[in-house]
């Protein structure tokens, strides 16, 4: 069934415009409650269906939380409210509390004017497409409130943050410590603003926290994983050993060395995989995406490590890992998966895995990943006035063909529409950075004209 509202990462949009309106979200809560309370989905550990409801720090989260709670209650589903909580924290608590599902209110790395809703299954995994389609179909039915005695209740989860912190800390090697390290931790004024710095402090590090004063409208604003230079500058200013930056909902990671050098998701994934490979505990191969730098695939091959590409999106990386029975994968945007640690991508846990690798080696990130030399890669985002299929336009296809001919098999060209916003992403990869940039810009200009 073709889905009208769900994209690659839940439902997302501008607050106040369809579909992110109170009326729509109320109906969404009701429809989700009806579907998730089915006997084959509802948790067998509870007398009645219950879901966890978390959010990031956007001001619109209050409104959407109330609308979802009302819809779920009308469907006879209990709601456990966690307050601000990273997306992977919602996934963990859903599983730990034996709930039927988890719901996260967040638009991830988007500006505060946007918001969205994503769902997790009882196992802490993103809902299958078929279940999301069922929820959409249920939204076409009338909202019929359950009898008063069967309405859902809402309670506040008071120990969720502490439980999730202990879970994160438990993924760090017991015989290692962060004592002696100074870290800059950039929380993007988002969901990690309280617990993010504390995790590293409790493992022994000295922490300088930045981006940890949310006011409802400053999430992702010049801080966090999508603006990592703020973190990198702070690392140099404070003489820190490493910098760590999360995005607004805590599932995307960027890091920096002492000199402010930034490392993307491909490099961080390589650090984790290299450490596990050297320790003899890497399970299978590694999953990347169509955007993964070819240098990573080539270096892993030299180490005898299998590599496979999924479509762009951490849910597709996750599907590929499950299909292959592997543990490690990720995207160069900073979504990293370590399935022996968590069921979903988790920026705090990913940072701990990277730190474990460099602490064990006694090296900087640059030293530890020196044998991975990334190919120059340019990614341009071309905004469209509306969602429109321009990739098949003759001028765009001609620009792509010309770029591929220029690269002569020593690079890659990739065009793809964003799954969450009206944007065409243009990626060109090759050995000559000047040529790569020029080719990417010529393709981007063709896309703009075709739009």
Give the residue numbers marked as catalytic. Answer: 108
Residue 84 pairs with which residues in a beta bridge?
A: 55
Q: Classify the C-alpha dihedral 399-402-406-412 as positive or negative.
A: positive
Q: Classify the C-alpha dihedral 94-100-105-110 as positive or negative.
A: positive
In angstroms, the CA 146 to CA 77 distance is 10
What does each C-alpha distance from 342 to 118, 154, 186, 296 come to in angstroms? 17, 27, 22, 23
Show the tokens assigned to 319.
């599907």
Provide the CB-side half-sphere exposure for 247 (13 A, CA): 24
- In 3D space, the residue among 96, 212, 63, 77 whose CA is nearest the CA of residue 138 turns out to be 77
Show the tokens assigned to 389.
């299929």
- Reported in sequence order, the residue ranges of 24-130 that DSSP labels E, i.e. its strands, are 50-55, 78-84, 101-105, 114-121
In angstroms, the CA 259 to CA 271 distance is 18
Neighbours of 206 (CB within 10 A): 15
- In 3D space, the residue among 417, 427, 422 whose CA is nearest the CA of residue 391 turns out to be 417
In angstroms, the CA 254 to CA 358 distance is 15
Show the tokens assigned to 333.
């945007």
Neighbours of 322 (CB within 10 A): 12
Find out whether 254 and 231 touch, Cβ atoms under 8 Å: yes
**Residue 299: what are its φ and ψ, rounded to 5°?**
-70, -40
| First-last CA distance in the chain | 28
In angstroms, the CA 369 to CA 358 distance is 9
Residue with tokens 């010529």: 442
**Residue 78: what are its φ and ψ, rounded to 5°?**
-75, 150
In angstroms, the CA 247 to CA 243 distance is 14
Neighbours of 410 (CB within 10 A): 12
Q: State the pairing for strand pair 182-186/242-246.
A: parallel
CA 50 to chain centre: 25
């Amino acid at each position: 069934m073709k889905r009208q509202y769900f994209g690659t990462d839940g439902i997302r949009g501008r607050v106040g415009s369809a579909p992110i309106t109170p009326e729509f979200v109320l109906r969404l809560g009701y429809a989700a409650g009806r579907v998730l309370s089915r006997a084959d989905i509802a948790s067998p550990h509870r007398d009645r269906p219950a879901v966890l409801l978390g959010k990031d720090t956007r001001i619109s989260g209050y409104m959407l939380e109330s609308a979802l709670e009302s819809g779920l209650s009308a469907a006879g589903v209990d709601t456990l409210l966690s307050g601000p909580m990273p997306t992977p924290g919602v996934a963990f608590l859903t599983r730990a509390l034996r709930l039927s599902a988890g719901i996260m209110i967040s638009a991830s790395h988007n500006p505060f004017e946007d918001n969205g809703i994503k769902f997790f299954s009882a196992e802490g995994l993103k809902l299958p497409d078929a279940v999301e389609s069922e929820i959409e179909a249920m939204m076409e039915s009338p909202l019929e409130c359950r009898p008063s005695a069967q309405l859902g209740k809402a309670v506040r989860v008071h120990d969720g943050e502490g439980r999730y912190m202990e879970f994160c800390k438990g993924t760090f090697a017991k015989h290692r410590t962060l004592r002696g390290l100074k870290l800059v931790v950039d929380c993007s004024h988002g969901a990690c603003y309280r617990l993010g710095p504390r995790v590293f402090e409790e493992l022994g590090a000295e922490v300088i926290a930045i981006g940890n004063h949310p006011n409802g409208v400053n999430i992702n604003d010049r801080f966090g994983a999508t603006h990592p230079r703020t973190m990198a500058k702070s690392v140099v200013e404070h003489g820190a050993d490493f910098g760590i930056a999360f995005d607004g909902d805590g599932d995307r990671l960027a890091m920096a060395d002492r000199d402010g050098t930034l490392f993307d998701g491909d490099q961080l994934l390589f650090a984790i995989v290299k450490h596990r490979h050297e320790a003899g505990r890497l399970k299978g191969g590694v999953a990347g995406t169509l955007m993964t730098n070819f240098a990573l695939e080539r270096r892993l091959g030299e180490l005898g490590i299998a590599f496979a590409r999924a479509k762009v999106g951490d849910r597709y990386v996750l599907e590929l890992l499950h299909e292959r029975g592997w543990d490690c994968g990720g995207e160069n945007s900073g979504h990293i998966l370590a399935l022996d640690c968590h069921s979903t991508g988790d920026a705090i846990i990913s940072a701990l895995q990277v730190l474990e690798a460099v602490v064990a080696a006694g090296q900087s990130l640059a030293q530890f990943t020196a044998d991975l030399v990334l190919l120059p890669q340019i990614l341009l985002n071309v905004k469209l006035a509306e969602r429109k299929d321009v990739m098949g336009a003759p001028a765009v296809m001609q620009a792509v063909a010309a770029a591929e001919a220029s690269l002569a098999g020593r690079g890659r060209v990739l065009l793809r529409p964003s799954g969450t916003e009206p944007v065409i992403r243009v990626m060109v990869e090759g050995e000559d950075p000047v040529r790569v940039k020029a080719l990417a810009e010529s393709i981007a200009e063709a896309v703009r004209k075709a739009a």
